[in-house]
């Protein structure tokens, strides 16, 4: 751009500069302080790195992310197609979801979890349960409120806690305690500022299953200390047939909130269909936030989700048959690396401790990525003290898993 002294209305000196020379770095505009409390999501960064490697000609196999690669049931796809063909299904939808979807979620919970949920006021459909973590946090947390977060745990709990200005407090999950919280130990601490506690069973990343006794103790803990207990429950149907919900405990709705999702259970991750369940008052608080952040879910998606929730138990059996085959190969990969793991873990990942011969999981992950073109998730992203653990996803077909195993074997034997 050239600004001439005689032609410029402000009689400026002559400047010769291209548009590319101007950037936000020359300006005084800064982001909100909350942005300084979070970083770009680890998998977002890693996917960009993998994408660049692929553009450079590398055939990278991604065994890191829990992104179901199998399709939803044919009846679900047909329901979406038929609903999308209807002219009147393309407008804004209700903030609380269509009645049919809330009723389907209610029936699903009754069938598999033996939990009674009133579809009118105890269920709120979500665009995936991940957004529910934000909605719940915004609905209940004030700056300075403390939140109990599992360690290891889903990174989004910490990110959202920081974004809303709350104060994170981790509680340790230890293998010697079957990855369960030490509630007795927590009660020896000052809990007066704690407003909320996140738990996640079946657990990610460890694959540990909860027990009804644990849920009873959590409900009691929450009530005695006036702490909202939030259970994130998307993995119940993956390699597991002991379906548990914290809402099975008598009186749990008084103090508990549960998130669930069709992402893993029905191979609908990209569809973004989830739910939150609790007492009517809590649901209304969450709705106040949600109704100011979206304009309802596409109706054909909701109608397809209704069909998904009606699928028979044989659907889950069929999906798990495939995951069982895949897990055998993932166990073999962990064996190649000399890892220690629990064969009874559930969910769509395998969590394992790496041998002391490797300095850290993050270095091992990078080595395998760049030498074998296979991405495995280092455990430190679930908590800094877990850099001696590795997680592998089951969301890769058998042929690619075998190929990944072969590549890793060559790297390890160098």
| 341-373 pLDDT, tens digit each | 999 999 999 999 999 999 999 999 999 999 999
**Percentage of residues of the chain with pLDDT beyond 70:** 93
**What pLDDT, in 10s, does the model give residues 304-322?**
999 999 999 999 999 999 9
Q: Are 404 and 333 in contact (CB under 8 A)?
A: yes
Q: Which residue has the higher pLDDT, 233 or 128?
A: 233
- CATH fold label, 42-71+314-412: 3.90.1150
Q: For residue 124, what are the β-bridge partners? A: 276
pLDDT score at 19: 41
pLDDT score at 24: 53
pLDDT score at 169: 97
Q: What is the pTM of this model?
A: 0.89
**At which residue do the structure tokens 């909202």 appear?**
228
CATH number of the 88-310 domain: 3.40.640.10
Please state which of the ranges 17-26, 154-163, 217-226 shows the lowest mean pLDDT: 17-26
Long-range CB contacts (within 8 A, 24+) of 401-404: 401/63, 401/326, 401/329, 401/330, 401/333, 402/329, 403/61, 404/61, 404/63, 404/333, 404/372, 404/374
Give the pLDDT band (50/70/90) at residue 11. very low
3-class DSSP assignment, residue 172: strand
Those residues with Cβ within 8 angstroms of residue 363's Cβ, 6 or more apart along the chain or in another chain: none
**What pLDDT, in 10s, does the model give residues 157-203?**
999 999 999 999 999 999 999 999 999 999 999 999 999 999 999 99
Tell me the torsion sign for CA atoms 73, 275, 346, 46.
positive
Cα–Cα dist 408/330, whole Å: 12
Count of positions (residues) in the chain = 414
| Comma-separated ranges of CATH 3.40.640.10 domains in the chain | 88-310
**What pLDDT, in 10s, does the model give residues 277-306?**
999 999 999 999 999 998 899 999 999 999
pLDDT score at 27: 64
Closest by Cα among 129, 106, 352 to 235: 129
| Comma-separated ranges of CATH 3.90.1150.10 domains in the chain | 42-71+314-412
pLDDT score at 26: 57
pLDDT score at 32: 82
């Amino acid at each position: 751009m050239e600004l001439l002294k005689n032609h410029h209305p402000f009689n400026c000196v002559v400047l010769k500069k291209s548009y590319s020379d101007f950037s936000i770095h020359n300006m005084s505009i800064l982001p909100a302080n909350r942005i300084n409390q979070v970083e770009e999501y680890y998998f977002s960064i890693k996917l960009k790195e993998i994408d660049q490697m692929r553009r450079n000609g590398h055939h990278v196999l991604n065994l890191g992310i829990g992104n179901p690669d199998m399709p939803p049931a044919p009846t679900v796809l047909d329901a979406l197609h038929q609903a999308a063909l209807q002219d009147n299904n393309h407008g804004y939808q209700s903030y609380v979801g269509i009645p049919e979807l809330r009723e389907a979620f209610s029936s699903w919970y009754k069938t598999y979890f033996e939990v009674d949920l009133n579809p009118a006021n105890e269920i709120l459909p979500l665009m995936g349960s991940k957004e529910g973590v934000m909605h719940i946090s915004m609905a209940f947390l004030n700056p300075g409120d403390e939140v109990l977060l599992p360690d290891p745990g889903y990174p989004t709990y910490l990110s959202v806690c920081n974004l809303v200005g709350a104060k994170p407090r981790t509680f340790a999950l230890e293998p010697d305690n079957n990855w369960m919280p030490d509630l007795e130990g927590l009660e020896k601490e000052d809990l007066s500022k704690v407003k909320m506690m996140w738990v996640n069973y079946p657990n990610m990343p460890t694959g540990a299953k909860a027990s009804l006794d644990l849920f009873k103790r959590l409900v009691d803990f929450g009530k005695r200390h006036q702490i909202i207990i939030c259970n994130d429950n998307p993995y119940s149907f993956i390699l597991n047939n002991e379906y548990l919900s914290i809402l099975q405990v008598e009186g749990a709705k008084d103090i508990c909130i549960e998130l669930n999702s069709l992402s893993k259970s029905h191979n609908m991750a990209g569809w973004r269909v989830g739910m939150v369940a609790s007492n009517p008052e809590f649901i209304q608080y969450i709705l106040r936030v949600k109704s100011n952040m979206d304009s309802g879910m596409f109706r054909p998606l909701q109608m397809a989700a209704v069909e998904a929730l009606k699928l028979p138990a044989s659907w889950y059996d069929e999906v798990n048959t495939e995951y069982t085959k895949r897990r055998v190969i993932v166990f073999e990969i962990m064996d190649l690396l000399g890892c220690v793991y629990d064969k009874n873990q559930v969910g769509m990942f395998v969590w394992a401790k790496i041998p002391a011969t490797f300095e850290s999981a993050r270095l091992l992950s990078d080595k395998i990525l760049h030498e074998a073109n296979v991405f495995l998730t280092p455990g430190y992203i679930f908590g800094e003290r877990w850099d001696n653990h590795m997680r592998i996803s089951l969301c890769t077909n058998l042929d690619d898993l075998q190929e990944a195993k072969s590549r890793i074997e060559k790297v390890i034997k160098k």
